[in-house]
Structure 1
Amino acid sequence: MGRTTTEDSRPSRGTDGRRRRAQRGWPPSSLLGGLAGPARERLLALGSEARYPADRVLIREADQTTFVLILLDGVVKVTARTQDERDALLAVRMGGDLVGEFAAVDGRPRSATVTTCGPVVARVVGRAEFLDCTRRDPGIAHAVNGSVVTKLRVANAYRVDFAGCDAATRLARVLYQIAMTYGERQGDGAVIHWPLTQPELATLSGAAEPTVHRALRRLRETGVVSTGYRTVRVESLALLSSAAFD
């Protein structure tokens, strides 16, 4: 496993880098994408900026650390150990999202491990500075609370939506949710620009890996998705939506 955040960062690119990323835009559903410009700038003034390579552990499950990470660029995966010692993929987060806020709020050990899926740029903010900001700035506090509620709603939706669904439908719903939230829209489809392995898709879909392999092959054969090096391309969001919800 890699080292944690404070041991493995590279020098900051500073305010100009933040502004260039802001001009490109973060997903509207993300914390940064949903904040108004002045509030976003106040949030991004916290902490220090750091850069990380692929496959670096930023937060480790059960650790006592309490800093938060404001993701600016890149994608991370959130995993937790199961009772049979497997790594279960809980979620993916990308530029614009906040990670680590649960431990910052309640001071308890980390509930999951966060690992980079490629190069990542983030603001690293200590607990005291983060909590002081949310106390002083109701707008940011409201946005952070909204981000937490959204994560809990998505977790609940997974449990409800998956009840009674077969594995192929669950896989289609997982891919649709990821593509709509984090994919880069291209025409009628979208591209997911990070390595999402079949074991990870299996844990997200609540299915055995061979079952996911067969379902993914059917989606490829019917022209719904295609796979390449470190990417999944949804050829038609309409077709994927039909496979997921019809």
Structure 2
Amino acid sequence: MAALEGSNGSSRGQVHARHDEGAELNQQSWPADTLLGRMSTRSREALLELGTAVAYEAQHQVFRQGEESHHVVLLLDGLMKVFVHTEFGRPVLLALRGRGDLLGEISMLERLPHSANVMTCKPAQARLIKNLQLCDFFDRHSDAWAALAGTLGTRLHKADVGRTEFVACPAPVRVGRIIAEIAGAYGIRTAEGLDLDVALTQTELASLAGVSLATFEKTLRLLQQFGLVQRKSRRIVVADLPRLRRFGVLERENPYQYGIVDADVAQS
């Protein structure tokens, strides 16, 4: 990790440079369901001036499960994964976080050690903000609390949906939905489709969908057979996102039209 910013003893010119950088970032378009996407222009500009600018390399451990919480990370560019080590020794991927997301806020609010690991999937740019500094910011910008609450509410809703799908949806449908969601949010458009260049293994993707690796690979072959995805080396390319999304939706007369059979309904 490399810090990109000077100390508190920065010269006046450096302070102006930092303010200009924050103003430029503030004018960017941020994903609507992220913290930066939900905030007012005034509060977002103030938040972007907090803390220290940092650059992370790929596969950098940002937070460790069980460690004390001293700061949060505001992700400006790149992708990070949130995962836990279970008592059975098998890591479980919980979520992906992209530009505009805040990480470590739960530990800050609860004043507890980190409950999960956070690692970069690819090189990332962020701001490192001390917990006390962020709390003071929220006290001075009351609308920012509403933005944070909205973000946490969305994550809770997604967790509830995921739990419901785990019980109610056939495993192949869950796999299709996860691949479609990642492609829509983070996929890189190429001539062949949306490239899932997110540096995740198939085991991690299977974990995110709540299926076994064998079920994930079986579904991937099925999706490839129907022309919905292609496999390029170790990466997945979504060739037809609209059709893949239809694959992941049960609102159709025949939910078995893509080859989903009773044996696939098992959770793994």
Name the TM-score, length of structure 2 as normaliser. 0.81
Range that drifts further, 195-204 or 179-188: 179-188
User: Over aligned residue pairs, what C-alpha RMSD do you find?
Assistant: 2.3
Following TM superposition, by how much is the alpha carbon of 1:16 offset from its aligned partner in structure 2, in angstroms? 5.1
Following TM superposition, by how much is the alpha carbon of 1:233 offset from its aligned partner in structure 2, in angstroms? 2.9
1:1-33, Cα deviation, whole Å (9 max, x unpaired): xxxxxxx33324945555555555322222112
Which structure 2 residues correspond to residues 120-139 of structure 1 after superposition, within 5 A? 120-139=124-143
Report the secondary structure of 2:74's partner residue.
strand
Percent of residue pairs identical: 33
Tell me if 1:117 matches 2:132. Answer: no
CA distance in 1, matches of 2:176, 2:28: 29
Report the secondary structure of 1:151's partner residue.
helix
Report the secondary structure of 1:80's partner residue.
strand
CA contact (8 A) 1:29 1:181 kept: no
Tell me if 1:31 matches 2:35. Answer: yes
CA distance in 2, matches of 1:230, 1:9: 29
CA distance in 2, matches of 1:46, 1:60: 23
Which structure 2 residues correspond to residues 111-190 of structure 1 after superposition, within 5 A? 111-184=115-188, 190=194
Following TM superposition, by how much is the alpha carbon of 1:228 offset from its aligned partner in structure 2, in angstroms? 3.5
Unpaired runs of 5+ residues, structure 1, are 1-7
1:138-180, Cα deviation, whole Å (9 max, x unpaired): 1111111111111111111101123232221110111222233
Report the secondary structure of 1:25's partner residue.
coil
CA distance in 2, matches of 1:143, 1:90: 22
Distance 1:34 1:106, change over 3 A: same
Q: Counterpart of 1:238? A: 242
Name the TM-score, length of structure 1 as normaliser. 0.88
Report the secondary structure of 1:72's partner residue.
strand
Which structure 2 residues correspond to residues 1-246 of structure 1 after superposition, within 5 A? 8-12=1-5, 14-15=18-19, 17-18=21-22, 21-22=25-26, 24-184=28-188, 190-228=194-232, 231-246=235-250
Whichever residue aligns with residue 171 of structure 1, its letter is: V
Q: Counterpart of 1:5? A: none
Following TM superposition, by how much is the alpha carbon of 1:93 offset from its aligned partner in structure 2, in angstroms? 0.3
CA distance in 2, matches of 1:235, 1:21: 32
Unpaired runs of 5+ residues, structure 2, are 6-16, 251-268
Whichever residue aligns with residue 201 of structure 1, its letter is: L
CA distance in 1, matches of 2:160, 2:124: 28
CA contact (8 A) 2:69 2:104 kept: no
Based on CA coordinates, which of the two structures has the bigger radius of gyration? Answer: 2
Whichever residue aligns with residue 34 of structure 1, its letter is: R
Range that drifts further, 175-184 or 53-62: 175-184
